[in-house]
Amino acid sequence: MRLKKLAATLKKKGPLPYLITDLVNIRYLTGFTGTYAYLVVDRDRSYFISDTRYEEYARSILPKSVEFVLQKNEFLESLKTILKKAGIRELFLEEHATPLSVYRSMKKGLRGVKLSPGGDVVNEIRMIKHPDEIEILRQAAAKTDACVRHLKGIIRPGVSEWDIAVEIEHFYRKNGCRKSSFDSIIASGPGSSMPHYATSLTKKIMKGEVILIDMGCEYSGYNSDLTRTMFVHSIDPALERIYRVVRAAQEAAVRAVRPGITTGELDAVARDSITGAGYGDRFGHGLGHGIGMEVHEMPAVKKGDLKLMKNMVITIEPGVYLPGIGGVRIEDMVAVTAAGCEVLTKSSKDITVIG
C-alpha cells in the first residue's frame, strides 16, 4: 500500500525510477528491519537489493510487486542488472540519504545512466501519519508517561544521573519497549542549562537542585519523546520563575496547533511569550520536531513557512537556560487534528518537588 502511494506520488512529481538508500524509509515502505538494503521504485515494479544474510527474511515479507535481487558481490553490479533489465536511463536519488561514496561509485560505474536529485519524497509522505501509526505513537507516549510516574519514586538526593538513566532503560524494556529512543538526558543542577547535556556517570542528585529529564522509548517501531523538569527537595526562586514562563509558553503553543498554521508562526507563539517575559535570549533552539519512526523527522518546528496538516505528529519543547544556575524545558508530543491537536503525552506539568 505504501509503495503504491509512493509510486503514485512520484509519478505526479516526476522523479521515477527512484533509488532509496535510507533504511528507515525502506522499513516504512516494506517492513524490512535489517541493516543492509537498497530499494529501486519504478512505475509498476520495485526492486529490493540485499545480501544472503537477509534473503530468506526479505523474500518472506516483500509484497509481490517487489522483486528481490540478491547481491552476490558489489551493490553496483546488482544495480546495473536492474537498470539494464528495466531499461532505466535516468535514476533519481534521495537527496538527504545517498552516501557520497555510493554516489561516486554510481557516477563512475553507471555509464549511460543519468543520476538526478529526487528530493526527499518518502520523508514528506511520512510526515502525515496513518491513524494506525498515531495509535502506536499514543501507546509509546503512554509507556513514557508510566515511566515518569515510576521515576518519581526513584529520584532522591544521592541517586546518580546514570542510575536514573539505567532505570529508564530497564523500565522500558521490562514493559514491552525495544529500547530507549535515544540516550536519556538526565541533567541535574547547573548541567540542566545545557540543552543536550551528556548524562554523567558519577554526578549525584543533591537537595535543592533542578533535574531536567528528556526521555523516550521505541515501541512497535515508533518513538516517544518527552521532557519534564522537576525539583529536588526545594526550588530556587529564579528557576521557579522560568518554570512558570516556560510552561506558559509551551501551553500557549500547544493551544495554537492546528492545520494551516506554519511552523514559523507556531514557533513564534512560544518564542514571543518567552521574549515578553525577558528570557528571549535564553531560548536558542527550535520549538520542536516531527516524530514517528525516527525521534527527529520532518517537519522541523522552527522559523519557516511549512504548514501543519492533519495527522502530523510533532513535539512542542520550549526551554529557558541560565548558565551556572540551571534550565527548564517542557516537552509534549501532539497529533494535529482537524480542529486543533491531541496531546499524546499526559504527564503533569505542575511544579513537582520530590525527594
The mean-pLDDT minimum among 15-19, 100-104, 169-173 falls in 15-19
Pair 120, 147 in one domain? no
- Statement: residue 152 has pLDDT above 90: yes
What's the structural domain count of the chain? 2
Instruction: Look at residue 156 in the predicted model and tell me its pLDDT.
Output: 96
Rounded CA gap, 64 and 83, in Å?
19
3-state secondary structure of 41: strand
Q: What is the mean pLDDT of residues 27-32?
A: 94
Same domain, 98 and 141: no
Which CATH number do you get for residue 116?
A: 3.40.350.10
The answer to whether the beta carbons of residues 329 and 283 sit under 8 Å apart is no
pLDDT tier, 322 (very low <50, low <70, confident <90, very high otherwise)? very high
**Inter-residue contact 97 to 28 (CB < 8 Å):** no
DSSP letter, residue 181: S
Average pLDDT over residues 35-50: 94
Strand order of the β-sheet with 179-180 is: 179-180, 217-219, 222-223
Are 34 and 156 in the same domain?
no
| pLDDT reported for residue 141 | 99
What pLDDT is attached to residue 1?
A: 62
* pTM recorded for the entire structure: 0.94
What CA–CA distances, in Å, run from 161 to 212, 270, 285, 313? 10, 29, 24, 30
Co-location of 56 and 183 in the same domain:
no
pLDDT band at 139 (very low <50, low <70, confident <90, very high): very high
The answer to whether residues 232 and 108 belong to one domain is no
How far is residue 213's CA from residue 331's CA, in Å, rounded to a whole number? Answer: 10
Residue 11 has pLDDT above 70, yes or no: no
Give the whole-angstrom CA distance, residue 350 versus residue 228: 10
Quote the domain boundaries for residue 142.
131-354
Beta-strand ranges (E) seen in 183-308 are 185-188, 210-215, 217-219, 222-223, 226-232, 288-290, 297-301
Q: For the chain, what percent of residues have pLDDT higher than 90?
A: 92
Residue 283's domain is classified under what CATH number? 3.90.230.10
The answer to whether 118 and 15 have CB atoms below 8 angstroms apart is yes
Give the pLDDT band of residue 16 (cuts 50, 70, 90): confident
**What is the tens place of the pLDDT at every residue in 201-257?**
999 999 999 999 999 999 999 999 999 999 999 999 999 999 999 999 999 999 999
Of 126, 158, 187, the residue at which a domain comes to its end is: 126
Same domain, residue pair 162 and 88: no
Give the model's pLDDT for residue 211: 98
* 295 and 147 belong to one structural domain: yes
> Which residue has 531536567 as its cell numbers?
212
Nearest alpha carbon to residue 87 among 38, 39, 47, 36: 47
